[in-house]
Amino acid sequence: MEQPLLEINNLKTHFKTERGRVTAVDGISFSVEKGEILGVVGESGCGKSVTAQSILRLFDEKYTASYEGEIKLQGENLLQLSKAEMEKIRGNEVSMIFQDPLSSLNPVFTIGYQLMETIRIHQNRTKKQARQMAIDLLRMTGIPSPEKRVSEYPHQLSGGMRQRVMIAMALACKPKLLIADEPTTALDVTIQAQILDLMLELNEELGMAVVFITHDLGVVAEVCTRVVVMYLGQVVEEANVEELFTTPLHPYTKGLMKAIPQMDGDRSQKLNVIGGTVPALNAIPSGCRFASRCEFANDLCKEKAPDLQVHEGNHKVRCWHYAEISNKEAARHA
Amino acid sequence: MPNQQAESILQVQGLKKYFSVKGFRSKSKNQQVKAVDDVSFTLYKGETLGLVGESGCGKSTTGRALLRLIEPSGGTVLYNNEDILKKSPREFRKVQKDMQMVFQDPFSSLNPRIRIGESIKESLTIHSIGNRNEREEIVMDILGKVGLRSDHYFRFPHEFSGGQRQRIGLARALVADPSILILDEPASGLDVSIQSQILNLLQELQDDFKLTSLFISHDMSVVRHISDRVGVMYLGKLMEEADTDTLFSNPVHPYTKALLSAVPIAKVGKKRERIVLKGEIPSPLNPPSGCIFHTRCPFAMDVCKQVVPEKVEIQDRHTVACHLYS
Amino acid sequence: MKMKNKFLILITFVLLLAMSACSKGETTGSSTGSKESSKGKSELKLTLSAQPPTLDTVATNSVDSATVARNVFETLVTPNGNFQPTPMLAKSVDLSDDGKTYTFVLREGVKFHNGKEMTSEDVVASMNRWKEASVVAKDLLGDAVFEAKDKYTVTLQLQQPSSGVLNILASTKQFPAIMPKEIVDKATPEGVTEFIGTGPFKVAEVKQNQYIHLSKNKDYQPVEGKADGLAGKREALVDDVYFYIVKDAATRLSAIQTGEYDVNTDVYFEQYDTVKKDKNITTYPDQYGNLMAVYNKKSGLFTDQKMRQAINAAINTEDIMLATFSHKELFNLDHGYMSKDQKDWYTKKGLESYNQNDAKKAKELLKEAGYNGQEIKIIATSDYSEHYDSAVVLQSQLSKLGVNAKLETFDWPTLLEKRKDPSAWDILVTGYSTVTTPAQILYLNPNDHGWTNDAKIADLLAKINAAPSVAEAQPLWAELQEYASNEYVPVTPFGTYSLVAAARSNVKGFTIFQGPVVWNTSVQ
Amino acid sequence: MYIYILKRIFSLVPVLFVVSIVAFLLIYLTPGDPVSVMLGQEATAEQIEALREQMGFNDPLYLQYFHWLINVLQGNLGDSYFMHMPVTTAIVEHLGPTLSIAVLAELIAILIALPVGILAAKHRGSLMDQFVMGFTLTGMAIPSFLFGLILMLVLGVKLGWLPVAGYQPLSTGFWNYLQYLLMPGLALGIIQSALIARMTRSSMLEVLNADFIKTARSKGVKERSIIYVHALRNALLPIITVVGQTFGLLLAGAVVIETIFNIPGIGQLVLNSIQSRDYAVIQGVILMVAFFYVIINLVIDLLYMLIDPRVGY
Amino acid sequence: MNVVEVNVNPKRVKHDLKKQERSLLLRRFLSNKLMVTGSIIIVLLLLLAILGPKLTPFDPYEMVVKERLEAPSSHHLLGTDNFGRDLLTRIIYGAKVSMWVGFASALLSSIIGLAIGLTASYYRYLDNILMRICDGLLAFPAILFAIALMAVLGAKTENVIIALTIVFSPEVARIVRSRALVVREETYIEAIRSQGASAARIIWKHIAPNTISPLLVKATFVFSEAVIVEATLSFLGAGVPAPDPSWGNILSDGKDVIYTAWWMTVFPGLFIILSVLGLNLLGDGLRDLIDPQSSTK
């Protein structure tokens, strides 16, 4: 098999807090193939954003964060690179867009400046060339009259436009991997649709891989080819998108899917409820992390933490008795 | 679902809210933002009317204007055949007991310095319901009904999670035994698993308390799930209104169609035809002439640019404001 | 956008420029004075502790004004080292046999700084203005008139003979400065606007709160005779004299220690030791005045003579003076109402009542007066440390005696106002500078300063003023002082004290007499 | 934007109006008057009353204020009774030293505070950071007069490096000018630097947590330019505000420092005129200082617009 | 939802909870090193001010002129002043005066500032007037303003408090107002408004308590600033009048003898620095405690 573009092995991200060390991401492993769109989905606090930012080592390693494990980009472990080497990767090989496009753009510099900065850090261009490139990039992301826009400031643009700028900036150096951290959460549905279309288009056109982080299963279904489901700092399930939506295995994934109101079909049915709340990061249960909220949990679950096991192909799940559960459910429906 | 002959409880006619904006750069001195522009609808007893739209469409303003949290610029709101917009503050207080609101942000809608029991009790105090001891009991009772423990009474908001706080918000709205509930995005900002808890609870309570609700949300699927009827707003105007199933299965307004098609669906295999609207929502400071949607409408005609479309009832209880149907 | 930025930068710069322009205008304006100063060694820098309100000494009683103005303006007669009036601008002074007419013959060829020669009309104009402005002059000279007999002769015609006339003419404060007539004529109540005199120095520049710059009067014609007090030969030995206004005592001290200034005209008492120890500095104590508690005899407890006597008996003046002036060399406890240096007037009569420090006697007297704990309000200014400090000690002593004494301190202008109000205070702690005749003693004046209201004192004062000569007036004065000290007790004197000037050792010929004497002084 | 600036300037009017009324009232309520001071220590009550009448101090208050206001509106602040010169001249004469000290102190403060604050923010929690915080806390706790005295004692008297007191205008040579200013400048500047350094630190920390810093980092921007280009410019707003405020404080602090170092500036002018009840000067200076203060605020606002394109919309 | 109906005695629960909250607060307080240090300094100074007068054998007003300006010794631990009074005793009594002046002006300006700030924030028509007045007052440099006020009021300890209150109230008012304006926009205010609450209820029950935190922090800083301004005023001779001791006027006396009696400058100076430091630490700590986001660590 071809070497994956990105391979994460047992990544752990620890933070120093006032209440001691906290492990926000605890042993994550997954890989991203060239050109694919991998969705990382989960509820707030599950560690999906931390994972995203850990890939680029964006946390302050001197005072707050520390990493463990491996993040291999085309075989090279990013966690072992020097600061300067890391800077060469960022924005060049791997780039990133964030949830809130307003706060993610520096308010005091023009859009052109911020785009040109990215270009000139990684490519040897004159100011003039960089400016032209910036305009081209803006045009590519569908911003009208980009010649004018380059000299505007972020606050002068609408939310959707800003996210387009962020995308343009992320794509400036034609990266191999784009990490999109909830890129449409702050946007209206109609604008979200535009941005999602744009991302799909660009993915096809440029062939870069995307790690798409979101809490919205709908978005995942629309854009991703493969999905990783996270819960409390761990991957609980991983599968191709069709497989995940047709045959989810983990009780959490299942619960989540049934908790969403549907756009068609019977609406008189009650929504599914996952009882309880997510445990705090400094009070992680010793056994299965989902046990306290799982209706199928037994003593084993409470005592021993399950590993991520392969169900079939690239469908993986972290549950002691996912098979029984599926059977039970099938029986119930039948 | 209410039957056809359900009596109306709240009639909103031509509701308007214009904000004047003193812009430094604007040429005219007082520009007006028409946040809510001539919106009319009726709430029938026992039903839930959903109000959907994207940010800035005026749905929240509508909700607030009904309670006069924002004083409306025009229109009438008939409750018990009286125009509540014309009431003096003292008279309006009685209406406020009957019309309660649940707010979007469960983190900021509770006073951080007041124990939640006291917060809930305040409504009783204001409306002089019960005596001291009774009030405490009523509050304990309602806490139980929204799924909280009575010892939660003495805790502060920061000790609760988002979902729990929204339960407190519900308790506060329900404690004075209102007949109308205005829910402003009560489940947004919550995780899916919590959101479902709140939506279920809401449905239960609506039955228990025989409530009539106005449910404001940007989330189409949530609105579909909870409402009996749905109104779609765009830039301060009501574009289409119909029973939920009708609207979702057979939307007629181009905007509604686009909106529905834009919602990502958590299912695979069924690739729908998506209508992607071009451009952005125009600035409410400088709204388009004629039909307010014509700048983005894939079916825009010449007439759309000049004439504001009238509301037409194309079917029983299905109205739409679009030149395609007039 | 570009446009917007440029405009903003422009505005910001314009504002900044406007701000800095103010300061620039100022620096060029002030450069004139200092350029000259950097020329050579021939300058003398002194410090003054306060800005003189004006240099027109006729318009003010201020000592600081006099200190500067005496270099610029001269008088007909001036005191010698023993406070005896000695001719200065007058060549001679004659008194008629009936004691009513003084004839002043002016020196000829004396030129004002503006080049004009001084004549009798200038003298008459100056003297008449002074007579109206000065309280003591008004009191003593009354309806007397100055007249020009000829170009160089001026007479003073009195209604009746008076002993202190020449003494007043030789005052060291608010002295009758001789100025050109045209300037006198232009004077407002606030004073003259041009400072043109006949003195060895002329006013070059007055920089408010900064310095007063005097420059040498090259056409100065000194009188003959040995310099003594303010009398005798005056000679400007330096080209420029600067009086720098330095209000802070510590600053004045460090400034003279480091050689920043040549003379510190007002060494703070506490610093006397430090200055004395400094080998590079010579100290010049200068008998200045006396410090006292003035009783309010118009209203309140101290209308009772017994009360005054009681407090007078209790006071330990030595402690007060020591705490205030810190060094024994700086004060004098042997105290009369007139200063010891005033050989014509000084007397020891009545001094037994001074510095009694007798608590027992005081308590008895208090009892007799029927005092039972009423509040006694002491007021003083916080602007003059000697007033303030001695008031603090007085309050402490009275408290110890069992008197309910409260101290209130005010800044000087407020004190001046409070002082006028008989209901506002009981004891005023204040100081008076040395005066040349009993008539000038303000606390014996019935209209103010404690409202002394005693027939015997008034009578004796009138007799003293009317006495044809000092010799005849002196016994009357002794009687007055005895009576006042032992019986009436208008005030309790704490003692006389000296101000200290300090000069760096390379300042030669510097003397001090009621303030620094700058002529005949050179810097080596 | 032009309207914005005009509006800002126009909004100064009521402030200055309030200032002038308060100043006038203060003066009216203060016991003592210039006349008694003018006449000297031993003047009598009658003399004083006579001169008061002559000088028109017995007019009713509103009339005095009205006359004064009319004059001010015509650009005439009146004349000083004591200095026999227009108040404007007096102010201009005294402004130089005060401005010089204020500017120097501000320069010293900024030169110390910015690097120190940035370093502390960059290495938050480190020993260096704790040292800086300790320094700033102590700095803020020392009254300027105390610090001035200490400096004078050490640098002036004991070491003899700098002249202890006085002021020499720029025209006497730059070094001469500077050496007299250095100590008062240090006394005020070091204390101000504590304030600015703290603000720099916290402002930088806040900005360093902002999302766009993450964006910059994810673009591969070097750490140095993240701090000095991306963060600093954003952190500058609160820093500039503090700098502006401290500049206002410096004018006030100058009152004390000028007394200690005997600098003939605005502070001295005001103290002297309060002492002598030179009404016109007090009034004029207070108005001027307040005006200065609001102008500084205006300049800060304009700087905001230069630095942050969002301001003014 | 499966709700376990626990049979609870509300009074007990309330009691327990309050106990818990108190211990939590204590724990948070103890974990805040700055604040603990600051509190210790201030408590020690307060103890000194309260108990000190009983411990010292000297009278702060008693002059022994012959012992004036004695250097620190076993008899006079910190030496004597220029009137021969025991310096330590003076400083202790001065602590009383300085702390009282600081505390009283902080308290008074908090009360006045709160009233003005709340009024301005709620009644928009008053806002403009009140805030322009505050702006005007703030445009005066604090020390100059205080000096001028003292000239009007006369040198008395109570007048120092009044002057400082006038100087600091506008600052407090602005803080309260800006906080109140934020609180006004909070949803919970809208929520209580939607219940039909009266203006008084909204202001006093909902807005006011939420401005207390920044007010408390500001009050601490006003306290410390008041100590400095009082010292400065007294130093300039416009503050606490003799014979009452305050750190400022001891320093002022000491300044003149700085060459011969360093102790008169150094010791009161140290006490000023210490108290202001303590208060600033306390204020910083309070801010961190109240608003964990501003915590910079």
A 262-281 near E (Cβ less than 8 A): 275
Q: Is pLDDT at D95 greater than 90 in this prediction?
A: no
Taking CA–CA distances from D262, the nearest residue in chain C reads C246
Interface residue E144 vs chain D (CB under 8 A): yes
Q: At the topology level of CATH, where does A6-93+173-333 sit?
A: Rossmann fold (3.40.50)
| Chain E residues with beta carbon closer than 8 angstroms to that of C400 | 62
Rounded to a whole number of angstroms, the distance from the CA of A151 to the nearest CA of chain B is 19
Tokens of C266: 């007002």
Q: For residue C36, what pLDDT band results from cuts at 50, 70 and 90?
A: very low
Percent of chain B having pLDDT more than 70?
Answer: 94
| Strands B8-21 vs B74-79: parallel, antiparallel or unpaired | antiparallel
Q: Is pLDDT at B28 greater than 60 in this prediction?
A: no
Taking CA–CA distances from E225, the nearest residue in chain D reads D141
Tokens of D19: 């200032």
Residues 6+ apart with CB under 8 A from C24: none
| Chain segment E73-122, per-residue pLDDT in tens | 888 888 888 888 899 999 999 998 889 999 999 999 999 999 999 999 88
| Chain A residues with beta carbon closer than 8 angstroms to that of E2 | 275
| Chain segment B203-231, per-residue pLDDT in tens | 999 888 889 999 999 999 999 999 999 99
Q: Is pLDDT at C362 greater than 50 in this prediction?
A: yes
Instruction: Name the residue among C29, C53, C433 with its Cβ closest to that of D38.
Output: C53
Q: Is pLDDT at C433 greater than 70 in this prediction?
A: yes
E strand segments, C90-180: 90-95, 101-106, 145-150, 153-157
Give the burial class of A307: count Cβ atoms within 10 A of its Cβ; 0-12 exposed, 13-18 middle, 19 or more buried. exposed
CATH 1.10.3720.10 correct for E36-56+77-291: yes
Q: For residue B2, what pLDDT band results from cuts at 50, 70 and 90?
A: very low
What CA–CA distances, in Å, run from A85 to A80, A114, A265, B53? 10, 21, 53, 47
Q: Is pLDDT at D246 greater than 50 in this prediction?
A: yes
Q: Is pLDDT at B236 greater than 80 in this prediction?
A: yes
Average pLDDT over residues D7-14: 79
For residue A40, list its beta bridge partners. Answer: A213, A228
| Chain segment E14-61, per-residue pLDDT in tens | 778 788 878 877 887 888 888 899 999 999 999 988 888 888 888 888
Task: Kindly list the domain boundaries of chain E, sorted by start residue.
Answer: 36-56+77-291
Contact criterion met (CB below 8 Å) for A176 and A34: yes
Name which of C176, C146, C190 is nearest C79 in CA terms.
C176
**Is the CB of B155 less than 8 angstroms away from the CB of E1?**
no
Q: How many CB pairs under 8 A join A and D?
A: 78
Q: Is pLDDT at B4 greater than 90 in this prediction?
A: no
**Is the CB of C447 less than 8 angstroms away from the CB of D45?**
yes
Q: Do chains C and B touch (3 or more CB pairs under 8 A)?
A: no
| Chain segment C247-267, per-residue pLDDT in tens | 778 778 878 888 888 999 888
Q: Is pLDDT at D306 greater than 60 in this prediction?
A: yes
Q: One-letter amino acid identity for A48?
A: K
D 183-242 near E (Cβ less than 8 A): 201-202, 205
Torsion of CA C108, C114, C120, C125, to 10 degrees: -160
Q: What angle do CA C41, C47, C49 make, to 5 degrees?
A: 170
pLDDT of amino acid C38: 39
Rounded to a whole number of angstroms, the distance from the CA of B223 to the nearest CA of chain A is 9
- Which tops the pLDDT comparison, D232 or D309? D232
- pTM of the complete model: 0.81
Q: Is pLDDT at C44 greater than 90 in this prediction?
A: yes
**Is the CB of A192 less than 8 angstroms away from the CB of B195?**
no
Average pLDDT over residues B218-245: 93
| Chain segment A67-92, per-residue pLDDT in tens | 999 999 998 999 999 989 999 999 89
Interface residue D312 vs chain B (CB under 8 A): yes
Interface residue D175 vs chain B (CB under 8 A): no
Q: Is pLDDT at A19 greater than 80 in this prediction?
A: no
Q: Is pLDDT at C22 greater than 80 in this prediction?
A: no
Q: For residue C26, what pLDDT band results from cuts at 50, 70 and 90?
A: very low
As a CATH number, domain B8-325 is 3.40.50.300
What's the mean per-residue pLDDT of chain A?
89
What's the mean per-residue pLDDT of chain C?
85
Rounded to a whole number of angstroms, the distance from the CA of B24 to the nearest CA of chain D is 6
| Chain segment A20-44, per-residue pLDDT in tens | 788 999 999 999 999 999 999 998 8
Taking CA–CA distances from C37, the nearest residue in chain D reads D172
Average pLDDT over residues C462-466: 86
Interface residue A239 vs chain B (CB under 8 A): no
| Chain segment A197-219, per-residue pLDDT in tens | 999 999 999 889 999 999 999 99
Rounded to a whole number of angstroms, the distance from the CA of A62 to the nearest CA of chain E is 14
Q: Is pLDDT at D280 greater than 70 in this prediction?
A: yes
Q: For residue B169, what pLDDT band results from cuts at 50, 70 and 90?
A: very high
Contact criterion met (CB below 8 Å) for E257 and C270: yes
Instruction: Name the residue among E21, E190, E212 with its Cβ closest to that of B103.
Output: E190
- Tell me what percent of chain B is helix, strand and coil, each rounded to the nearest 5: 35, 25, 40
Q: Is pLDDT at D186 greater than 70 in this prediction?
A: yes
**Is the CB of E154 less than 8 angstroms away from the CB of C407?**
no
Q: For residue E297, what pLDDT band results from cuts at 50, 70 and 90?
A: very low
| Chain A residues with beta carbon closer than 8 angstroms to that of C2 | 151
- Which tops the pLDDT comparison, B167 or C327? B167
pLDDT of amino acid D141: 87
Can you tell me the distance from the alpha carbon of C270 to that of C289, in angstroms, rounded to the nearest whole number?
18
Q: For residue A101, what pLDDT band results from cuts at 50, 70 and 90?
A: confident
pLDDT of amino acid B287: 84
* CATH 1.10.3720.10 residue spans of chain D: 88-312
Q: Is pLDDT at D150 greater than 60 in this prediction?
A: yes
| Strands B48-52 vs B212-217: parallel, antiparallel or unpaired | parallel
What's the mean per-residue pLDDT of chain E?
85
pLDDT of amino acid B319: 93
Contact criterion met (CB below 8 Å) for C427 and C379: yes
So what CATH class is D88-312?
A: mainly alpha
Q: How many CB pairs under 8 A join C and D?
A: 204
pLDDT of amino acid E294: 42
Instruction: Show which subunits contact A, needing at least 3 CB pairs below 8 angstroms.
Output: B, C, D, E
Q: Is pLDDT at D87 greater than 80 in this prediction?
A: yes
Q: For residue C113, what pLDDT band results from cuts at 50, 70 and 90?
A: very high
E strand segments, A37-105: 37-41, 65-73, 76-77, 94-97
Q: Is pLDDT at B270 greater than 60 in this prediction?
A: yes
pLDDT of amino acid B251: 92
Between A149-158, A238-247, D59-68, the lowest mean confidence (pLDDT) is in D59-68
Can you tell me the distance from the alpha carbon of A317 to that of A254, in angstroms, rounded to the nearest whole number?
12
Rounded to a whole number of angstroms, the distance from the CA of B191 to the nearest CA of chain A is 6
pLDDT of amino acid C8: 53
| Chain E residues with beta carbon closer than 8 angstroms to that of D29 | 152
Task: Kindly list the domain boundaries of chain A, sorted by start residue.
Answer: 6-93+173-333, 104-172
Whether ipTM tops 0.90, in short, is no
| Chain C residues with beta carbon closer than 8 angstroms to that of A110 | 1
**Residues of A at the D interface (Cβ-Cβ below 8 Å)?**
53, 56, 58, 62-63, 83, 87-92, 95-96, 98, 100, 103-109, 117-118, 121-122, 153, 155, 166, 169
**Is the CB of D289 less than 8 angstroms away from the CB of E144?**
yes
| Chain E residues with beta carbon closer than 8 angstroms to that of C410 | 154-155
**Is the CB of B25 less than 8 angstroms away from the CB of D313?**
yes
Q: One-letter amino acid identity for D34?
A: P
pLDDT of amino acid E284: 84
Torsion of CA C48, C54, C55, C61, to 10 degrees: -80
pLDDT of amino acid D41: 57
Q: One-letter amino acid identity for C520?
A: N
